[in-house]
Amino acid sequence: MITPARSVATIRAGTRDRGEILFGANSMQHGTAVFEGIRCYRTPDGPAVFRLDEHLARLLRSARLVGIPHPYDLEELRRQVLAAAARSGLADCYLRPVLFAPDPYLGLDLRELTFELATEIWPGGARGEHGGTGIRVTVSRWRRPSARAFPAQAKATGTYAASAVARTEAAAAGFDDAIQLGLESGRVVEATVANVFAVKNGVLRTPWLADDPLAGITRATVLTLAADLGIPAAEGPIEESQLRAADEIFLTGTASELVRVGSIDNRSLGLCGPVFDRICAAFDAAVTGRDSSHRSWLTPVPLVADE
């Protein structure tokens, strides 16, 4: 898991500068930035970025949904992010490219602003535990902001204040994370920064995109791996009562990877998670390049940064 440690570098597009974000910056003041969280893994052939193009396509989509003007296409973003990974010198790391407006201008018409790319880098942290005995989650009273209030598929910094409110309240009550329900549907959507999966009688389920969870890249990876393994899996509506009655629950996200849920509102799920364990083994093999059938998910980091 990524510990909330300090990042090791900020690499602004086209410069070697460590970033200095002005406190007056529009994106700082109003949360008007879009970003991605991407992982780079140590593989037998050197460091490689996991599902880079899917992350960058989502970054471009977030910018489009929010109305952020910027000069980057997918190829240029790929070049910048790989260069940042190469310059970090880290084999296992977590990269956050962010499109942000540094201007100390307080307007809300984003067309007036100039957005630029910076890539923040954190060390990757220890791998392979996947949460051990499992985390403690609660179902939050705070619902996910509706897609009718804000584009749900935009990964924008401002929306994470809503996640922070739910997470902070859960943590103060002794939980590790909170499951959030849809504002209008009342159904399970996702955790504060991760997608959620539930297993019942050997069948894997995750909320469908119609209920507006983020279209997580780890979520998509798990669905593919489940198909590879012959584990029946479905996207669909999940009621809170169905989640509470699940045999296994786990969370998925780039930073935290796959995390076993040990209890939900103090109802223990037990230590046995056969579906989770199989998915974890397949996930580890895929991200570290040991599973040759998913090598296309890995983009090698160039040895020398391409300036």
Q: Please list the active-site residues.
A: 155
Given the complex with ligand PMP, which of 97 and 253 has the nearer CB atom? 253
CA distance linking residue 252 with residue 265, whole number of Å:
19
Interface residues for ligand PMP in 18-47 (CB under 6 A)? Answer: 37
Which one among 253, 262, 273, 289 touches ligand PMP, defined by CB under 6 A?
253
Q: Is position 254 an interface residue for ligand PMP (rule: CB under 6 A)?
A: yes
Q: Is position 288 an interface residue for ligand PMP (rule: CB under 6 A)?
A: no
CA distance linking residue 19 with residue 215, whole number of Å:
29
Residues contacting residue 92 through CB under 8 Å, at least 6 positions apart: 39, 40, 41, 42, 47, 123, 124, 125, 127
Q: Is position 98 an interface residue for ligand PMP (rule: CB under 6 A)?
A: no
User: H or E segment at 144?
Assistant: none
Provide, rounded to whole angstroms, the least separation between the CB of residue 253 and ligand PMP. Answer: 4
Residue whose pair of structure tokens reads 């970003």 in the numeric block: 35
Given the complex with ligand PMP, which of 193 and 269 has the nearer CB atom? 193
Given the complex with ligand PMP, which of 19 and 145 has the nearer CB atom? 145
Given the complex with ligand PMP, which of 138 and 218 has the nearer CB atom? 218
CA distances from residue 268 to 137, 170, 251, 275 in whole angstroms, order as listed: 10, 17, 16, 17
E strands, 159-286, are 177-181, 188-191, 195-200, 203-207, 233-236, 248-253, 257-264, 267-268
CA distance linking residue 189 with residue 160, whole number of Å:
15
String of contacts with ligand PMP for each residue 183-222, x by CB under 6 A: -------x--xxx------------------x-xxxx---
Provide, rounded to whole angstroms, the least separation between the CB of residue 249 and ligand PMP. Answer: 15
Which residues are near ligand PMP by CB under 6 A? 37, 190, 193-195, 214, 216-219, 252-254
